[in-house]
Homo-oligomer: A and B are copies of this chain.
Amino acid sequence: MHVLIIGAAGMIGRKFLDRISAEPDVLGQEIDKLTLVDVVAPTAPPEFESITSSQAADLADAGVAARLIATRPDLIIHLAAVVSGEAEMDFEKGYRVNLEGTQALLEAIRLEGRNAPYKPRLVYASSIAVYGAPFAPTISDDFALYPLTSYGTQKAIGELLLADYSRKGFLEGIGIRLPTICIRPGKPNKAASGFFSNILREPLVGQEAVLPVDENVRHWFTSPRSAVGFFVHASTMDLGPVGPRINLSMPGLSATVGEEIEALRRVAGDDTVKLIRRVPDPAIQAIVAGWATNFEGRRARELGFTAETDFDDIIRAHIEDELEGRVGG
């Protein structure tokens, strides 16, 4: 099987590669070719080095999608995106990368299928940013997509195109609406959502972290480990039972900041929790107030997608996957 990963240098791309390196049969078929694409050439995993083509390329550039698809990958994981904040700041770049890049990929697949039958599996990374306030208390699978950011708009359009190209038989699409990933590994960043991870990740290594909102703020989470699991399952599952609504809100965990902190206390103790400094930031509070807090995710669970059901497990996954099982500075 030839696997193409677009956006392979990002966090989920790298963790997906770690997973298939650790479990080479996890996709159900032997991988005999791996193409990795990102704006910088991704690092090939040692286990797949001899069969990997690593490329720096932009999907929205003329000819790039057609060139990648001419190699007829069997499975395409499309993770490439300009993130929410950047798409909001740079309107043209967001539409170019997030919309035109996705359109170019879909069109390249459709046109390749004219040369000889071709119908790859395409797993598309979407986001809960496709939803906008006002929300229902729990967002059902039937709830309307009215995004309030350009990023969410672009992801919602990508979902619609993926569904139509799938319905017409040009490809086997499935869209994965990701919850906020927590605990996001790496350094603290300035994303408005960063604190949800920072207040756990930094104290777990003995560092202070800033909490800019009240403890009663509620949001919707999944771990990096579960997120990779979503992409593995989407790559291998039977799509027959999915029907025409191929874009799915993934299962996740609805939790308040206070619940995050109590889970941290249970897993890592009072001294770790003391490293959280409360520095209220009205700007971040206002942004976060517009975010969804809870999803039903019923269809995705029925279709076999799974995620953590308490925050202790999310923290333990981070300790196992990122800290080699150790807590403390």
Contacts and interface: CB of A to CB of B under 8 A. Distances in A.
Contacts of A147: 160, 163-164
A40 interface: no
Interface string A166-197: 01100000000000000000000000000000
A247 to B, nearest CB: 8
Given A156-B160, A161-B153, A164-B150, A244 B132 contact: yes
Given A156-B160, A157-B160, A168 B150 contact: yes
Contact of A142 (B143, B160, B164, B168): B143
Contacts of A11: none
A245 interface: yes
Nearest to A131: B144
A145 interface: yes
29 contacts: A91-B110, A91-B168, A132-B244, A136-B142, A141-B144, A142-B143, A142-B144, A143-B144, A144-B144, A144-B145, A145-B145, A145-B160, A146-B163, A146-B244, A147-B160, A147-B163, A147-B164, A148-B167, A148-B244, A150-B164, A150-B168, A153-B161, A153-B163, A153-B164, A156-B160, A157-B157, A157-B160, A157-B161, A160-B160
Interface of A: 91, 110, 132, 136, 141-148, 150, 153, 156-157, 160-161, 163-164, 167-168, 244-245
